[in-house]
């Protein structure tokens, strides 16, 4: 069992103000996997002031120097990759293969790509008698989720380092262990004291003081829309910049000419990966009525081939949900779907066979779903897919956009030009065409209640700049 009883503040491992600790539960076994220190408002203040002291010097370092630190950090994390994979699988239940490829290798790749973006800070634009220059936004507070813990943390830390910002980072109290490994790597490479500070804790004790602290210039949060509203409210009195990556209820528009044998399994995979705990998951599959039952049957057959089991077993596609609370919430939504009259195609409330311990949920598909149903409106955040019929593409687009969210979408047509035309009409931050795959350098973020701001690539770094005009 891993025990981390200190916080990382001002380049040192320090004893927190409170003696409180929190247990980290392995969702596959329901046993304690580790214990971590808990920060409070006093620790937050210490960390923020350390970041403020470090800002002037760090913001003036050369692009070459910042790029060197980013590259060395990527290498240090690569050296810890096996330990990081094991840790994330232990603390949130992701299967080992998914942990390696998506939860660890992908964010390390994203981090490394930010080295070259350090030069963006030095770019300037001549506009008549004015010169537009960039400056780092300042001290940043990062509040991170539990579902892609390292990935989302790197999505904030990497551009902030590239832009010359300093930071205070709060991991989710459900999955904090990986963040201590990251802090160890940062300490190893000798990043200047105060540039990165780690304070572990819950929302009221750590998140709220971070958002309201007068010395914090920017807050970046990934999590639920409900929490995003609270964070915006806490940050408002000090007029901070707030970037939010929130929930989603993403549509997958399958066209009449689509090859269902390819499109439908890909859509099922997208929802069931990470046990459905993905903000961009394509949880509303829109299928032409003329091919509806064919698509439902393909989805059923494919879903029932996916194994739910121990995340350390090589043939497990779905591990457990991340917590008992998450399992209870997903099952509540499945119950609502049944009450609202949706047709249960596969899955449901019964525990997966042979799994007596752990927060496991059978992958579930509902057919005959109307877009007004609760299960089609609200983010379930579990392995639950809704299949919705449509009569024509105008109706399909109306259904796709009839949501308070706008994070992601996918369109599948054998005519890629037609698919792209439909994609341009969907109000979402990322729309995938056919089997298009994730791009670590493409801007990531949402419309509407899915948030504001962008992460990754040049667009992500731009969020961490202020723009100044020098006028002669």
Q: The tokens of 162 are what?
A: 């590239």
CA terminus-to-terminus distance, the chain: 62
User: Does the structure show a pLDDT above 90 at 355?
Assistant: yes
**Considering the entire predicted model, what is its pTM?**
0.96
Are 142 and 114 in contact, with CB atoms under 8 Å apart? Answer: no
Average pLDDT along the chain: 97
Q: The tokens of 423 are what?
A: 């994609």
Give pLDDT, residue 189.
98
Are 406 and 416 in contact, with CB atoms under 8 Å apart? Answer: no
Q: Is the dihedral of CA 346, 351, 353, 355 positive or negative?
A: positive
Tell me which of 279, 379, 386, 463 is the catalytic residue.
279
Please write the tens of the pLDDT for every residue from 222-240. Answer: 999 999 999 999 999 999 9
What is the number of alpha carbons within 13 Å of residue 290 lying toward its C-beta?
A: 8
Are 452 and 244 in contact, with CB atoms under 8 Å apart? Answer: yes
Q: What secondary structure does DSSP assign to 301-332, as a single string?
A: HHHTTSPB--TTSTT-SB---S-HHHHHHHHH
3-class secondary-structure state, position 288: strand
CA distance 144 to 153: 6
**What count of residues does the chain have?**
472
Are 97 and 438 in contact, with CB atoms under 8 Å apart? Answer: no
CA distance 169 to 154: 11
The stretch 446-458 carries a mean pLDDT of 96
Please write the tens of the pLDDT for every residue from 251-302. Answer: 999 999 999 999 999 999 999 999 999 999 999 999 999 999 999 999 999 9
CA distance 195 to 12: 12
Are 467 and 134 in contact, with CB atoms under 8 Å apart? Answer: yes
The stretch 200-204 carries a mean pLDDT of 92
User: Does the structure show a pLDDT above 90 at 73?
Assistant: yes
Please write the tens of the pLDDT for every residue from 400-432. Answer: 999 999 999 999 999 999 999 999 999 999 999
Q: What secondary structure does DSSP assign to 363-405, as a single string?
A: -EEEES--TTSHHHHS---SSEEEEEEESSHHHHHHHHH-SS-
The stretch 1-19 carries a mean pLDDT of 96
Where do the domains of the chain lie, and which CATH numbers do they carry?
2-246+449-471 (3.40.605.10), 251-440 (3.40.309.10)
CA distance 300 to 297: 5
CA distance 23 to 346: 35
Please write the tens of the pLDDT for every residue from 369-410. Answer: 999 999 999 999 999 999 999 999 999 999 999 999 999 999
Q: The tokens of 260 are what?
A: 């269902």
Are 70 and 112 in contact, with CB atoms under 8 Å apart? Answer: yes
Are 106 and 151 in contact, with CB atoms under 8 Å apart? Answer: yes
CA distance 367 to 365: 7
Radius of gyration of the chain (CA): 22
CA distance 18 to 427: 46
3-class secondary-structure state, position 181: helix
Please write the tens of the pLDDT for every residue from 149-181. Answer: 999 999 999 999 999 999 999 999 999 999 999
Tell me which of 173, 205, 208, 245 is the catalytic residue.
245
Q: The tokens of 134 are what?
A: 């960039």
245 is catalytic: yes
Please write the tens of the pLDDT for every residue from 132-142. Answer: 999 999 999 99
Q: The tokens of 155 are what?
A: 């999505």
User: Does the structure show a pLDDT above 90 at 1?
Assistant: no
């Amino acid at each position: 069992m891993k025990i981390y009883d200190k916080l990382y503040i001002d380049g040192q491992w320090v004893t927190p103000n409170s003696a409180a600790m929190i247990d980290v539960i392995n969702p596959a076994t329901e046993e304690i996997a580790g214990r971590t220190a808990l920060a409070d408002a006093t620790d937050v203040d210490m960390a923020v002031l350390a970041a403020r002291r470090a800002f002037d010097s760090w913001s003036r370092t050369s692009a070459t120097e910042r790029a060197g630190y980013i590259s060395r950090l990527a290498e240090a994390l690569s050296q810890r990759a096996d330990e990081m994979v094991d840790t994330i699988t232990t603390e949130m239940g992701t299967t080992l293969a998914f942990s390696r490829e998506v939860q660890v290798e992908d964010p390390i790749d994203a981090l490394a790509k930010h080295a070259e973006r350090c030069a963006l800070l030095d770019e300037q634009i001549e506009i008549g008698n004015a010169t537009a220059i960039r400056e780092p936004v300042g001290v940043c507070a990062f509040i991170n989720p539990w579902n892609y813990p390292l990935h989302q943390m790197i999505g904030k830390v990497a551009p902030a380092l590239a832009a010359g910002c300093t930071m205070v980072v709060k991991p989710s109290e459900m999955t904090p262990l990986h963040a201590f490994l990251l802090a160890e790597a940062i300490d190893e490479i000798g990043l200047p004291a105060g540039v990165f500070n780690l304070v572990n804790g819950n929302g009221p004790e750590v998140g709220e003081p971070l958002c309201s602290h007068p010395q914090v210039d920017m807050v970046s949060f990934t999590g639920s829309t409900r929490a995003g509203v609270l964070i915006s409210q806490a940050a408002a009195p000090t007029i901070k910049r707030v970037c939010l990556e929130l929930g989603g209820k993403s549509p997958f528009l399958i066209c009449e000419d689509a090859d269902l044998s390819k499109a439908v399994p890909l859509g099922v995979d997208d929802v069931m990966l990470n046990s459905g705990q993905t903000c961009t998951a394509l949880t509303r599959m829109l299928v032409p009525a003329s091919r509806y039952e064919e698509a439902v049957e393909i989805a059923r057959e494919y879903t029932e081939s996916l194994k739910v089991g121990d995340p350390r077993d090589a043939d497990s596609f779905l591990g457990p949900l991340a917590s008992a609370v998450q399992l209870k919430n997903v099952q509540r939504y499945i119950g609502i779907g049944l009450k609202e009259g949706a047709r249960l195609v596969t899955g449901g409330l019964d525990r997966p066979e042979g799994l007596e311990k752990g927060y496991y949920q059978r992958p579930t598909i509902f057919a005959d779903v109307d877009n007004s149903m609760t299960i089609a409106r609200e983010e379930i955040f579990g392995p639950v897919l809704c299949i919705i019929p449509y009569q024509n593409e105008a109706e399909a687009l109306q259904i796709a956009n009839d949501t308070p969210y706008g994070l992601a979408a996918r369109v599948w047509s054998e005519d890629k030009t037609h698919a792209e035309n439909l994609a341009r009409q969907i109000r979402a931050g990322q729309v995938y065409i056919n089997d298009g795959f994730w791009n670590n350098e493409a801007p990531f973020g949402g419309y509407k209640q899915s948030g504001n701001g962008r992460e990754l690539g040049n667009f992500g770094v731009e969020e961490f700049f202020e723009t100044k005009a020098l006028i002669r």
